[in-house]
Structure 1
Amino acid sequence: MAAGEPQAKKLKLEPKQLSENVLFGMGNPLLDICAVVDKDFLDKYGLKPNDQILAEEKHKELFEELVKKFKVEYHAGGSTQNSVKVAQWMIQSPYKAATFFGCIGKDKFGEILKKKAEEAHVDAHYYEQSEEPTGTCAACITSDNRSLVANLAAANCYKKEKHLDLEKNWKLVEKAKVYYIAGFFLTVSPEAILKVATQASANNKIFSLNLSAPFISQFYKEPMMKVMPYVDVLFGNETEAATFAREQGFETEDIKEIAKKTQALPKVNTKRQRIVVFTQGKDDTVMATANEVTTFPVLVSDQSEIVDTNGAGDAFVGGFLSQLVYDRPVTECIRAGHYAASVIIKRSGCTFPEKPDFH
């Protein structure tokens, strides 16, 4: 037996062992309420089959009606939390490789969220307050489309000085090597994003951001462009990319051109070239680096296997980040992103089996 021992040790060293809190995410924690609905329900609330919006006055009754009328499932959600959850699932070990910050209410939904984050082995440190209830997101599913209506509630109440600035929390930020924040958080705390982004840039760590939704580029352009010089990896889908291009006055509708121009935007940390990654649903994923624009075919799924595209974009990012923390080549990160997305779309909500089958 003794003879085999060095061999066993050697094998253990093969994949680089990650430390806890190597990946940091900050965003809007929401409890997802998912249900398959009908067209009448979408029409009643003026929803498009494939869209994401913030709840307005007219959507007040939507959440209750959804729970009453349809069979619902609850999941820990919110774009960034979904991505770090998927990254943690892909990483597997150690538990708590991923950290997550966000704001919740001191209520029943908040307790469910804490439990769900723990089950996903994510090291969630929520800022808890009692003014607003925990945020919810209705995922109204019709065939393979999904319409998301988010009621941010508590998620909107994140306070940098009451949470991020606390020494014990900031230490967790400093432990990370890779940072990810969805653009949605620009509506909540641009100053918290900037603090994390400038810290990452100053220490030559990787800061990544997501365009998240067309309305972010349109109505939160100023805070977004303040953060952009610190962005090492930018994610988005084809609609978000097109809106971003229009707002920037790029005068092109070609997604490869948009990726190229976005890659070339001013950047603070010149030691790292920005990488831009745009997904296009079932069409090729586009990646722009300083030298070239490349496309990658997605993993082809039998259309009949698609249950729900809800969370596919978040899953792609999670898969991508799971390899980025190991410093693996970008092509490998994209492959992992496609793998994660292909698993998620065959299930309801942003959920996954116990273990990934990614090699």
Structure 2
Amino acid sequence: MSQDLNGALVGFCNPLLDISAVVGDNLLEQYNLKANDAILASAEHVPLFQTLIDSYDAKFLPGGAGQNTLRGAQLLLPADSAVFIGAVGDDENAKRLQGAASKAGLRTNYMVNPEKPTGTCALLITGANRSMVANLSAAETFQFAHTQKAENWAIIEKAQYYYITGFFFTVSPDTIEAVAKHALENNKTFTMNISAPFVPTFYKGLVEKTLPYIDILFGNETEAASLSEAFGLGTTDIKAIAKKIADQPKEGSKPRLVVFTQGSEHTIVASSDSDEVRIYDVTPVAKEEIGDSNGAGDAFVAAFLAQHIQGQSLDACVEAGHWLGGEVVRQIGPNYPTGELKFIASGDFTAAIEKI
């Protein structure tokens, strides 16, 4: 491929070190957690992190949804295609995150806060479900001024594609707005992920303000339901939600694409320039092969974006997302398989079509 992809993809999110453990439902109940959710830690959750370390077989894994996605995308793209931006502390956990990124060939542009530790995320695995509790710490101190620095803004100017998670609304909405407007004004592609059900619930105003700039919106079924409730769409049908969100007011000439995954169930894709919704089958992973579901959604987006950036069809983008999501489901934690990753489209992967 002749297209120059050096620095083509820039992503923003909260870099976190995951503390992952298989637990029982009783621990979820103890901390008022849901089996398949993502929340920010409150005072009642502070002891949870040490509990996982002291009482369970806890694993320390490089995490943070956005960095997970950018790592996966870089593994499928030419060298030096992707850059990740976020805030960390000046500590060993930051070095662990940097090391995981470097191993994948991902460039990082961290804002370092020496006064706060690198953020952590408790991952409670119950069967195929995972409950995430994030203690942002240094990550939540990210400053818009870091984005504005000439050397950092030059990275944004060079890029053609942007990916920001909904988690970043809690940290730097000014950065999201600046990058979104830059993408619009320069005919670049701006993508986001809803990321968690709490995002549309507690940050509805920011989501509403940003949505007109979003060219591709990702999410899962629980996030879609939360979005529908927050926007008063009056439906729980994921296909209808996807189409209604796709049809929200949009800036620029590009149609908006909405992509909702549902684990092993169908993936739904709607576009603002069509009255049809595309429904893609997912090839299930055998139960005995499943490690856990953590990171599968990030992997889906990683492969989807990698294919999209390289000009592949929508069918190929979704097929790649299912493939890489399935590979990560077979791992423990948000890890990618070792060795070279290469996606080869089948050529006959298509969607069922339904008019909405």
User: Fold match, TM over 0.5?
Assistant: yes
- 1:356 aligned onto 2:338: no
Report if the CA contact (8 A) 1:16-1:326 is conserved: no
* Pairing partner for 1:333 from 287, 299, 317: 317
Deviation at 1:17, TM superposition (A): 5.1
Residue 301 of structure 2 corresponds to residue 317 of structure 1: yes
Give the one of 134, 153, 158 matched to 1:175.
158
State the alpha-carbon separation in 2 of the partners of residues 238 and 216 from structure 1: 14
1:331 Cα deviation (Å)?
1.5
How far off is 1:16 after superposition?
3.9
Partner of 2:129: 145
2:347 corresponds in structure 1 to none
Q: 2:61 aligns with which of 61, 64, 75?
A: 75
- 2:115 corresponds to: 131
Residue equivalent to 2:10: 24
CA distance, structure 2, for counterparts of residue 323 and residue 357 of structure 1:
11
CA distance in 2, matches of 1:39, 1:285: 28
Residue equivalent to 1:288? 270
Contact 2:90 2:118 in 1 (8 A): yes
Counterpart in the other structure of 1:3: none
What pairs up with 1:191-210 in 2 under 5 angstroms?
191-210=174-193
Q: Distance in 2 between matches of 1:249 and 1:59?
A: 31
1:259 to 216, 239, 242: 242
Answer with 148-157 or 68-77: which moved more: 68-77
How far is the alpha carbon of 1:154 from its aligned partner?
0.7
Given that residues 18 and 326 in structure 1 are in contact (C-alpha distance below 8 angstroms), is that contact kept between their aligned partners in structure 2? Answer: no
Which residue identity lines up with residue 326 of structure 2 in the other structure?
Answer: S
What whole-Å deviation, never above 9, does each CA across 1:208-237 have from its counterpart, x for those lacking one? 011111110011011111111100000111
2:125 aligned partner, one-letter code: I
Does residue 40 of the first structure (1) align with residue 23 of the second (2)?
Answer: no
Deviation at 1:357?
Answer: 4.2
Secondary structure of the corresponding residue to residue 336 of structure 1: helix
Q: CA offsets per residue over residues 4-30 of structure 1, 9 Å max, x none?
A: xxxxxxxxxxx3454321111011000
Report the Cα offset of residue 257 of structure 1: 1.1
Amino acid at match of 2:93: F
Q: Which residue of 2 aligns with 1:9?
A: none
Which runs of no fewer than 5 residues in structure 2 stay unpaired?
A: 345-356
Length-normalised TM-score, structure 2: 0.93
Which residue of 195, 198, 222 corresponds with 1:212?
195
Distance 1:72 1:16 in 2: 45
Match 2:71 to one of 80, 85, 97 = 85
The one-character-per-residue Cα deviations of 1:247-277 (angstroms, maximum 9, x if unpaired) are 111111211111111111111112x100000
CA distance in 2, matches of 1:311, 1:47: 19
Which letter maps to 1:50?
A: N
Match of 1:275 in 2: 257
**1:4 maps to what in 2?**
none
Q: Which runs of 4+ in 1 moved over 4 A?
A: none
Deviates more, 1:113-122 or 1:99-108: 113-122
1:104-123 alignment to 2 at 5 Å?
104-123=88-107
Q: Is the Cα–Cα contact under 8 Å of residues 38 and 197 in structure 2 kept in the other structure? A: no
Determine whether 1:304 maps to 2:294.
no
Deviations along 1:108-139, one digit per CA (max 9) or x if unpaired, are: 21122122211121110100012321100011
* Structure of greater Rg: 1
- TM (norm. structure 1) is 0.92
- Tell me if structure 2 keeps the 8 A contact 1:31–1:75: yes
Q: Which amino acid aligns with 1:35?
A: A
Cα distance in 2, alignment partners of residues 246 and 190 from structure 1: 22
Partner amino acid for 1:155?
A: A
Distance in 2 separating the partners of 1:224 and 1:50: 22
Match of 1:187 among 170, 175, 182: 170
The 1-side partners of 2:158 and 2:311 are apart by: 16
Aligned identity (percent) is 43
